[in-house]
Structure 1
Amino acid sequence: MLQDIRENAQGTIGKIIIGLLVIVFAVWGIDAIIGGFSSEPEVATVNDQPITEQDYLRAVQLEKQRRLAQMENADPSMLNEDQIRKDVLEQMVREATLKQDAEAQGLQLSDADIDALITQMPQFQDDGKFNADRFVATVRNMGMGVGEFRGMLRKQYVVNQIRAGIGQSGMATEANATELLQIQNQTRDFRVLTIPASAVVDNVSVTDEDIKAYYQDHTDQFMQPEQVDAAYIALSVGALADTVDVSDDEVKAAYEQKKSSLVQEERRAAHILINDGPDAEDTIKTIQKRLADGESFGDLAKEYSIDTATADKGGELGYAGRGVYDQDFENALFGLKEGEVSGPVKTQFGVHLIKLEDIRRKDAPSLDEMKDQLRAEIAGKKAAEKFAEVRSKLADSAYAADDLATPAKEMGLEVREVKNITRDGGPAPFDHPGLVRQLFSDDVLNGGYNTELVDVGDNLAVVARVRDHREERQRSLDEVSADIRDRLTLEKTREALASRADSVIASLKDGKSVEGDWASYSDQGRNGADIPTPVVQTVFSLGRPEAGQPVYGKAVADDEARVVELTKVTPGKVDKDSEDYKRLYDFLARLEGQREYTAYQQYLRDQAQVERN
Structure 2
Amino acid sequence: MFDAVRNNKKIVQVFLVLIALPFAFFGLDSYVNGGGAGADVAKVGNIKISQQEFQQSLREQQERLRAQLGQVDPKMLDNPEFRKAILNDLVDQRLLVLEAGKRRLFAGNDAVVNAIASIEAFQQDGKFSQERYEAVLRSQGMSPAGFEAQVRQDLTLQQLAGTIARTGTLSTTVSERILALQTEQREVQEVLLATADYLGKVKLADGAARKFYDDNSKQFETPDQARVEYVVLAQNSVEVKVADSEIKAWYDGHKDRYQQPEERRASHILIASEKLGKDKARAKAEEVLAEVQKKPAAFGELARKYSDDPGSAAQGGDLGFFGRGMMVKPFEDAAFGMKEGETSGIVESDFGFHIIRLATVRAAKEKPLAEVRGEIESELKAAAAARKFAEAAEAFSNLVYEQSDSLQPAADQFKLKIEQSGWLGRQANPANGPLGNAKLIEALFSEESVKSKRNTEAVEIAPNTLVSARIVEYKPAALQPFESLQPTIEKMLASQEAQKLAKADGEARLAALKSGDDKLAWGGVKRVSRMDARQLPPAALQPVFRMNAGKLPAYTGVELPGSGYALYRLNKVGAGDKLDDVRRQGLIGQLRSLAAQEELEIYLSALRARYKVEINEKALTASER
Report the equivalent of 2:490: 485
Report the equivalent of 1:386: none
The residue type equivalent to 2:585 in the other structure is: K
8 Å contact kept, 1:439–1:465: yes
Measure, in 2, the Cα distance between the counterparts of 1:467 and 1:209: 38
1:162 aligns with 2:168: no
Find 2:574's aligned residue among 554, 570, 577: 570
1:185 aligns with 2:183: yes
DSSP 3-state at the match of 1:192: strand
Q: Alpha-carbon deviations, 1:476-531, whole Å to 9, x = none?
A: 76565444322210111111222333343344445546364x32205443566883
Find 1:145's aligned residue among 124, 143, 146: 143
TM-score (norm 1): 0.51
Measure, in 2, the Cα distance between the counterparts of 1:528 and 1:120: 39
Measure, in 2, the Cα distance between the counterparts of 1:545 and 1:467: 66
CA 1:57–1:572 in 2, change beyond 3 Å: closer, same or farther? same
8 Å contact kept, 1:455–1:462: no
What percentage of residue pairs aligned between the two structures are identical?
19
TM-score (norm 2): 0.51
Find 1:65's aligned residue among 60, 63, 68: 60
Taking the TM superposition and a 5 Å limit, the aligned residue runs for 1:156-555 are 156-197=154-195, 199-215=197-213, 218-219=215-216, 221-222=218-219, 224=221, 226-228=223-225, 230=227, 399-400=407-408, 418=423, 421-424=424-427, 429=432, 432-433=436-437, 436-437=441-442, 439-440=444-445, 445-447=450-452, 466-470=472-476, 472=477, 480-509=485-514, 511-512=516-517, 514=519, 516=521, 518-521=522-525, 523-526=527-530, 531-533=535-537, 537=541, 540-555=544-559
8 Å contact kept, 1:188–1:525: yes
The residue type equivalent to 1:505 in the other structure is: L
8 Å contact kept, 1:232–1:417: no
Measure, in 2, the Cα distance between the counterparts of 1:77 and 1:508: 48
CA 1:447–1:599 in 2, change beyond 3 Å: closer, same or farther? same
Q: CA deviation at 1:89?
A: 6.5
Unpaired runs of 5+ residues, structure 1, are 1-38, 236-276, 279-325, 330-397, 402-409
The residue type equivalent to 1:493 in the other structure is: A
CA 1:604–1:468 in 2, change beyond 3 Å: closer, same or farther? closer
8 Å contact kept, 1:124–1:131: yes
Q: Alpha-carbon deviations, 1:137-169, whole Å to 9, x = none?
A: 333333333333232222111111011122233
CA 1:112–1:544 in 2, change beyond 3 Å: closer, same or farther? closer
Find 1:597's aligned residue among 589, 597, 600: 600
The structure with the larger Rg is 1
Q: CA deviation at 1:562?
A: 3.4
Q: CA deviation at 1:231?
A: 7.7
Q: Alpha-carbon deviations, 1:336-363, whole Å to 9, x = none?
A: xxxxxxxxxxxxxxxxxxxxxxxxxxxx
DSSP 3-state at the match of 2:541: helix
CA 1:166–1:223 in 2, change beyond 3 Å: closer, same or farther? same
RMSD: 5.2
Measure, in 2, the Cα distance between the counterparts of 1:68 and 1:514: 59
CA 1:89–1:539 in 2, change beyond 3 Å: closer, same or farther? closer
8 Å contact kept, 1:538–1:554: no
Q: Alpha-carbon deviations, 1:280-319, whole Å to 9, x = none?
A: xxxxxxxxxxxxxxxxxxxxxxxxxxxxxxxxxxxxxxxx
Unpaired runs of 5+ residues, structure 2, are 1-32, 233-274, 277-310, 315-405, 410-416, 617-625
Measure, in 2, the Cα distance between the counterparts of 1:450 and 1:51: 37
Q: Alpha-carbon deviations, 1:107-128, whole Å to 9, x = none?
A: 2134565445444544333344
8 Å contact kept, 1:177–1:584: no
Q: CA deviation at 1:446?
A: 3.8
Measure, in 1, the Cα distance between the counterparts of 2:93 and 2:431: 42
Report the equivalent of 2:100: 102
